[in-house]
Every structure is written in structure tokens, then in C-alpha cells.
């Protein structure tokens, strides 16, 4: 393992790649989870990455008084979302050498969307203090 890549970063990347490979047959573009409720009036919230040095992020969101329906990822982002009812754990990794785009994805949900926690990682896999994903 490269000395600058943390165990957490390695697990995040390994889990993301395994998830993308297993979901490729039933997912949308860029690894997006299927959007079964896009037509039934769900709301949408953007996953914003304000730190311009972030190459990967993990985030936990919750739809209060509702549920998370799906997550879509923007061009230049490979992502994986595990949705369980009103919560979604989301991993985002930038493709290529560029950082994550300012808007990295979109969460489709019912109810009100709440940010529970998030962490972003830099080019060498180090956690970036004070960074995270905004909604």
C-alpha cells in the first residue's frame, strides 16, 4: 500500500469499485442508482463539494419524514450509494487527475434532506480537516 493512502481511503476505494462492478448491469450512467421515483414527485438536492482539493468524499444523508429514492452522479465522478429507507451512504471519487466538481451528484428524496456527516480526502488519500459535502 502506498504510504500516503490511509486504510479508510483504501476501503472506500475498494468498496466503491466493487459496488460499481456489481451494479453495472442495473444502474444508470456513471454508476447512478436507478431512479424509480423520479416521476412521483420526489425532491432533489445537490451534493456540493466546496473544497477544491477534494478527490474523494463519503457522506451520510437522511430524509426526515420521508425516504431517499436514489442518487445520480455528475460527469467526472464515479460513485456508489447504498440506500436503506430514509438514509443513504454515498461514496464519490473523481475520475482522472482533477478534483471532484463543485456539484458532484444529486440525491432524490421525499421529505426533508438532512446532512448527517461527511469526510473528503485529498490526492494522496489523506482526510482533509474541516472538509465535507454540503447539501
The string of pLDDT tens digits covering residues 99-111 is 999 999 999 999 9
Where is average pLDDT lowest: 20-29, 58-67, 76-85?
Answer: 20-29
Phi, psi values for residue 59, rounded to 5°? -145, 145
- Candidates 111, 118, 2, 3; CA nearest to 51 is 118
Q: Quote the cell numbers at residue 61.
A: 444523508
Residue 102, domain member (yes or no): yes
Whole-angstrom Cα distance, residue 128 to residue 9?
A: 12
Residue 134, domain member (yes or no): no
Residue 131, domain member (yes or no): no
Phi, psi values for residue 124, rounded to 5°? -100, 10
Give the chain's radius of gyration (CA, Å).
Answer: 14
Domain that holds residue 49: 7-121
Q: What is the CATH number of the domain that holds 63?
A: 2.60.40
Residue 127, domain member (yes or no): no
Residue 38, domain member (yes or no): yes
Helix, coil or strand: residue 41: coil
Whole-angstrom Cα distance, residue 12 to residue 56?
A: 9
Residue 75, domain member (yes or no): yes
Residue 71: pLDDT band (50, 70, 90) is very high
Domain count, the chain: 1
Residue 133, domain member (yes or no): no
Torsion of the alpha carbons at 105, 22, 58 and 33, rounded to the nearest 10:
30
Helix, coil or strand: residue 95: coil
The string of pLDDT tens digits covering residues 116-131 is 999 999 999 999 999 9
Amino acid at each position: 500500500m502506498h504510504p500516503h493512502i490511509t486504510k479508510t481511503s483504501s476501503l472506500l476505494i475498494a468498496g466503491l469499485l466493487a459496488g460499481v462492478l456489481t451494479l453495472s448491469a442495473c444502474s444508470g450512467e456513471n454508476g447512478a442508482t436507478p431512479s424509480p421515483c423520479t416521476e412521483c414527485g420526489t425532491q432533489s438536492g445537490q451534493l456540493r463539494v466546496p473544497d477544491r482539493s477534494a478527490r474523494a468524499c463519503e457522506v451520510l444523508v437522511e430524509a426526515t419524514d420521508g425516504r431517499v429514492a436514489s442518487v445520480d452522479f455528475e460527469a467526472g465522478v464515479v460513485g456508489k450509494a447504498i440506500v436503506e429507507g430514509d438514509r443513504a451512504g454515498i461514496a464519490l471519487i473523481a475520475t482522472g487527475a482533477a478534483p471532484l466538481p463543485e456539484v458532484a451528484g444529486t440525491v432524490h428524496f421525499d421529505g426533508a434532506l438532512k446532512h448527517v456527516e461527511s469526510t473528503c480526502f485529498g490526492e494522496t488519500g489523506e482526510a482533509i480537516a474541516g472538509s465535507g459535502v454540503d447539501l
